[in-house]
Homo-oligomer: A and B are copies of this chain.
Amino acid sequence: MIITLTTDFGWSEYVGAMKGVILSIAPEARIVDITHSIRSYDIRHGAYVVGSVCRRFPEGSIHVVVVDPGVGTRRRGVVIEAGGHTYVGPDNGLFTFLKDVRRVIELQVEAASRTFHGRDVFAPVAAAIAKGRKPEEFGRVVEPQPVRLEIQEPRRRGRWIEGEVLCVDTFGNVITNIPEEMLDAEFGAELEVELSLRRVRVPFLESYGFAEPGRLLALIGSEGYLELAVNQGNAGSMLGVRGGERLRLCVVS
C-alpha cells in the first residue's frame, strides 16, 4: 500500500516522525515523499500539488497532506475519498482541486499533542486505513464538500483573457488558471500581461530554454496552463507576484 507525504515541513525531522508512526502501525506501507517544500503555510501551493501530482499515483494510494497553519485551532481534519484515492489532512482548502469527491469523513480523534497533528492524527489514521480499517471508524461522514478556495474562473473579455495566478511553484514559475485552449497564439507571439502592480510584454515560447537565461517568457506549463517563467530564474520574485492575484493578458503581435 502506497502512502504519500506532502507537507510544508521543509524536509525536517518532523517528516521522519510521521514516517516512524506510519511504519509502526503499517510496517508494509510504502512511504513516498511527494514534497516537503510547499511554501510555508501556503495552502494554495499545497492545493495545486494535491490537484496535479497526487492523481498521478496508482489508484488506491493514500495521500497525507499537511499544510496546517491552523493546527490546534478549530479547523477540522478530514479523510476524503475521491477519484479512487484517499486523502487525509486538514480541511482548509488543500483539497480544492479534487474531482469526483465521493465521501468526506470529519475526523474525531484525540490527539496526543496540540501542535503536531501530522504525526498524531493524520499519519496514524492513514496508516490504519492502509491496514484495512475504515475511515468512518475515525469520525463521522459529512457532506462530501471539502472547503474550497475561491478561484475566479478564467474568461474572455474582448481581446483580453482574464484569470488568476493559481500559485507560484517552488521554482518561482507563475502558474495561471488560463488553459492552453483559451490562448490563441503561435510560438513567437508577444503577449501583454497585466498584473496588479505591473504590465509586461513577454514572448510566448515553446519551453524555458527558448528564452535567454534570465529573461521572462510565457509558455504552456506541464499541466496545460499558461505560465510566466524566467529561464534559469524566478519569475515570482522578479514580478512580485503571489498566488491568488488577478491577471489579464492579450496577444499583441
Q: Across the interface, do B219 and A12 meet the contact criterion of CB distance under 8 Å?
A: no
Residues of B within 8 A of A53 (CB): 13, 16-17, 20
Complex: how many Å from CA A219 to CA B114? 9
Is residue A194 within 8 Å, beta carbon to beta carbon, of the partner chain? no
Question: A14-30: contact bitstring with B at CB < 8 Å (1 yes, 0 no)?
Answer: 11110111011001000
Is residue A170 within 8 Å, beta carbon to beta carbon, of the partner chain? yes
How many subunits of this chain does the assembly comprise? Answer: 3
Q: Across the interface, do B12 and A23 meet the contact criterion of CB distance under 8 Å?
A: no
Question: A155-174: contact bitstring with B at CB < 8 Å (1 yes, 0 no)?
Answer: 00000000000000111000
Is residue A49 within 8 Å, beta carbon to beta carbon, of the partner chain? yes
Beyond A56-B17, A69-B209, A72-B210, whether A31 also contacts B34 by CB under 8 A is no
Complex: how many Å from CA A35 to CA B19? 11
A9 to chain B, nearest CB (A): 8
Q: Which residue of B lies closest to A17 (CB)?
A: B53
Residues of A within 8 A of B (CB): 2, 4, 6, 10-17, 19-21, 23-24, 27, 31-38, 40-41, 48-49, 52-58, 69-73, 112-116, 119-120, 169-171, 206-210, 219-222, 224, 232
Lowest 9 CB-CB distances: which A-B pairs, in order?
A72-B207, A20-B56, A16-B34, A12-B170, A116-B222, A113-B222, A20-B57, A13-B49, A73-B209
Question: 24 A-B Cβ contacts within 8 A?
Answer: A2-B27, A11-B35, A11-B37, A13-B35, A13-B37, A13-B48, A14-B170, A16-B33, A16-B34, A17-B222, A19-B34, A19-B57, A20-B56, A20-B57, A21-B56, A31-B32, A69-B208, A69-B209, A70-B209, A71-B207, A73-B210, A113-B220, A116-B222, A120-B222
Other A-B pairs, 19, CB within 8 Å; known A11-B11, A12-B35: A2-B23, A6-B16, A10-B37, A12-B170, A13-B34, A13-B49, A16-B32, A19-B33, A19-B34, A20-B56, A24-B57, A40-B232, A69-B209, A71-B209, A73-B207, A113-B221, A113-B222, A114-B219, A115-B207
